[in-house]
Amino acid sequence: MTSLAGTGLLLRFHLRRDRLTIPVWVAVNALMVLSMPTTLEGLYGTEAERADLLDQVAANSSFRALIGPAFGDSLGALTAWRVGVYAGALAAVMSLLIVVRHTRDEEESGRQELISSGVVGRRASLTAALLTAATANAVLALLVTAGLAGRGAAGALALGLGLAAVGMLFATAAAVVAQLTESARLARGLTAAVLGAAFVLRAAGDAATTDGSSVLTWLSPLGWLSQVRPFAHERWWVLALFVAAVAVQGALAYGLAGRRDVGMSFLPTRPGPASGRLRTAGALAWRLQRGAVLGWSVGFFLAGVVYGGLTDGVADLVGDNERAREIFERMGGQSGITDAFLASMTGMLGLVAALYVVAAVLRLHGEETSGRAEPVLANAVGRLRWAAGHLVIAFGGSALIMLLAGLGFAVGYGKEVGPVLGACLVQVAGVWVVGGVTVLLYGVVPRVAPLAWAVAGAVLLIGWVGPALDAPRAVLDVSPFGHLPKLPGGAMDWTPVLVLLALAAALVAGGLAGLRRRDLTT
């Protein structure tokens, strides 16, 4: 097969390039799955408690929409229920990123031309990319199977294979999409949209029926995953659906890959306007970031609606379970379970908004390192004006998405509108401190600016895992979010909010001072 010449070499090359990212993706995913039985055991220690949980899931459609139907009350079955869809989605995201990175990304950047001029077959790059994804998914399956084997070998194998199957399904989907679009970013976006649609279909189907027998569930690969029913009389034949889908998509991608020119695509880029209306650096920044702002806005509004809709159900579900209530109350403050749930959910959205602000601020870094900032700054545009355009979007945008989340809660929950809105907005102080740290890193030591992701990751970890682990106060205090008043329910305390806002302002000022004084990196 000459069209596959060089595949082995490319596979080794891909694995070397991904030697850090793939292990991190796989490890995080496996840890999430493997830690779940212990967590569940802590929360639902007795068989009676677990049977009770099963009944609650069957009775509560919002929970089935969010997590999926449960098929057994063993710790294994409940683990598969609790993490299955999310671990599957994580495997899907990992796989689609791997495949696009090694196919369309390479073509778009022009690097593929050089590779293809070597002794490399027409389909070698695609094959190597899929094999790279397959390697990552196989390791994930292996870890999950080995780690859960103690709870039942068949169930562990079913869950492991199911997760890897979802991963490969989206790897091949990405392979098809990468043939269609000219831009890697669009290929990632479209495949992620397919994943989102799969989640929504499954959620709708699972909400409608208690056992996921709805057609909607069966239209979604994430629905298939829960229908494998690991640890609850596994239905192995469902895995055949994955095999068939992977085969069909793989064949399609191969067919398309052999029929087109390197760098070209089946969906050509539409021409743009011959003249433009952009007048200022600020308008340019908005043009570059508006898509992201829109996406995050829609996402946060919907998240508010969904969590708002869940609020009453949660009070019923968790109300009886002493330990779960304790964790929620620790996350959300020391008030009733409903307020505690609202507080922990708004807090969680605040942590996610910190990721937005990092991404938006680091656009400055991306513009600078790509060389696009240089000609802009060679015009009559001061550095501060140029930076301000992006920073207004980053900081204003994070306030906007928290506001929209609050409005979403108002739609989904409908009670306590003012206090919940306040709870969302108070998070902005924490988000802005993370944004301020990012500006400082970028302005003063641009080389290490991407470390801002690590800062956001640490804040996220402390906020999510800290309360469940009952971490000491000193650790929780590292995160700016730890200092925010627990709203709604708790008392509003302006002092920490104002201190955090002042800190954020100081960090931004420091970063901008650094930016003004330093050399532009090229």
Tell me whether residue 179 or residue 479 sits nearer to other proteins (CB atom).
Answer: 179
Q: Per CB under 8 A, does 267 bind other proteins?
A: no
Contacts 24+ apart (CB under 8 A), 474-479: 479/430
Angle CA 63–69–74, to nearest 5: 110
Distance CA 259, CA 113 (A): 16
Amino acid 136 reads A
Distance CA 220, CA 205 (A): 9
Q: Per CB under 8 A, does 520 bind other proteins?
A: yes
H or E element that contains 209: none
Q: Per CB under 8 A, does 376 bind other proteins?
A: yes
Minimal distance, residue 270 CB to other proteins, in Å: 8
In contact, 126 and 254? CB cutoff 8 Å: yes
Q: Per CB under 8 A, does 275 bind other proteins?
A: yes
Tell me whether residue 19 or residue 519 sits nearer to other proteins (CB atom).
Answer: 519
Q: Which residue, chain included where needed, has tokens 């690991």? A: 230
351: which DSSP letter?
H
Q: Per CB under 8 A, does 113 bind other proteins?
A: no
Q: Per CB under 8 A, does 320 bind other proteins?
A: no
**Beta-carbon-side half-sphere exposure of residue 204 (alpha carbons within 13 Å):** 10
Q: Choose which of 261, 375, 474, 491 interacts with other proteins (CB under 8 A).
A: 375
Q: Per CB under 8 A, does 58 bind other proteins?
A: no
Minimal distance, residue 383 CB to other proteins, in Å: 8
Binding pattern for the stretch 445-474 against other proteins, x by CB under 8 A and - elsewhere = ------------------------------
Distance CA 140, CA 142 (A): 5
Q: What is the dihedral of CA 36, 37, 43, 46, to 10 degrees?
A: 160
Of 235-243, 284-292, 465-473, 493-501, the segment contacting other proteins by CB under 8 A is: 284-292
In contact, 361 and 442? CB cutoff 8 Å: yes
Q: Per CB under 8 A, does 117 bind other proteins?
A: no
Q: Per CB under 8 A, does 258 bind other proteins?
A: no
Tell me whether residue 448 or residue 461 sits nearer to other proteins (CB atom).
Answer: 448
Q: Per CB under 8 A, does 150 bind other proteins?
A: no
Q: Per CB under 8 A, does 185 bind other proteins?
A: yes
Minimal distance, residue 244 CB to other proteins, in Å: 35
Distance CA 199, CA 324 (A): 26
Tell me whether residue 495 or residue 522 sits nearer to other proteins (CB atom).
Answer: 522
Q: Choose which of 2, 38, 213, 269 interacts with other proteins (CB under 8 A).
A: 269
